[in-house]
Amino acid sequence: MLREKATTDINWYPGHMEKAKKLMIKEYKNIDMVYELIDARIPRSSKITNIYDVIGSKQKILIMTKKDLADRVMLDRWVRYYENLGNKVLACDLNDDSDIKKIIDTTHELMENMQDKRAEKGLNKKEVRVLVVGIPNVGKSTLINKLVGRKVAGVGNVPGFTKNLTWLKTNHNIVLLDTPGILWPKLENAEVARNLAALSAIKIDVFDVNEVAYHILNKLNKYYPDKLKERYEITPQNVLDLEEVYDVIGRKMGAIKNNEVDYERVSTKIINDLKDEYIKGIVFDNEI
């Protein structure tokens, strides 16, 4: 029977992440600004809860990535929410050059006071040194490659791709400090953990594949039933529960083994459909 477990307690804190955190603290004095990236589809779950332990009171831009994949109504609500907390927030599609320009322009606007003070002392403008942080798979490498103008950071739709701290020059009077994706040591909130697994921020094998797929279906059924109909030609209201949804999807895709639906094959397809961006216009953190 397909059901989400009541609780989840996952330890997921690779050694390179602990090392990176210590190095970031060591580099703190050299940093002028922070780009904090979060996934617009999980704007609460993808935010590092203890980030201020690392970045303190530095100037910061909160970059909500993958806006092209998010529910724009909910995204706008989250932008306002974080702005009301005092953040400078930019919702971005990192493959859109106009959004990249917006990040560059905002960076220099926020650093005007620092540059003006230097000018008053007869000093030249300095390169803005920016720390780039975020959990795995929120687009840090994509942003860095765009700003640098060539591929210098590995891009992969898997968590933990970057493992070291690296200073990288750009042509925009900005120097970037790339970091590995940072997660908190223990994921005690089951909802957050499932959201992260569903959006490939933590390795899928920390969960049972059926549990992650069930979570995705449950979110779609609750908030975006039109997406279920659009992707799987199914109207959830016409079935008894999500297990029946599984059966319909499984039979449509021919995932049958011994005359029974192969739940694991169906689950893998559901997860990959979200990962491969066949399912768009969603926000899984649907309550602010």
Give strand ranges (E) for the chain: 10-11, 33-39, 59-65, 88-91, 128-134, 166-169, 174-178, 186-187, 256-257, 260-261
pLDDT at residue number 82: 96
Evaluate whether 2 touches 245 at the Cβ level (below 8 Å). no
Which pLDDT does position 284 carry in this prediction?
97
Q: Predicted confidence band at 175 (pLDDT cuts at 50, 70, 90)?
A: very high
- Summarised one tens digit per residue, pLDDT across range 104-120 is 999 999 999 999 999 99
The two three-digit tokens of residue 259, written as one number? 């005359």
CA distances from 144 to 169, 170, 211, 222 (A): 10, 9, 34, 36
> Looking at residue 234, what is its pLDDT?
80
- Which amino acid belongs to residue 133? V
Domains annotated for the chain, with CATH where assigned, are: 12-178 (3.40.50.300), 208-275 (1.10.1580.10)
pLDDT digits (tens, 9 = 90+) for 31-51: 999 999 999 999 999 998 777
Identify whether the C-beta of residue 77 lies closer than 8 Å to the C-beta of residue 64: no
Is residue 91 pLDDT above 90, yes or no?
A: yes
Q: Look at residue 18 and tell me whether its pLDDT is greater than 70.
A: no
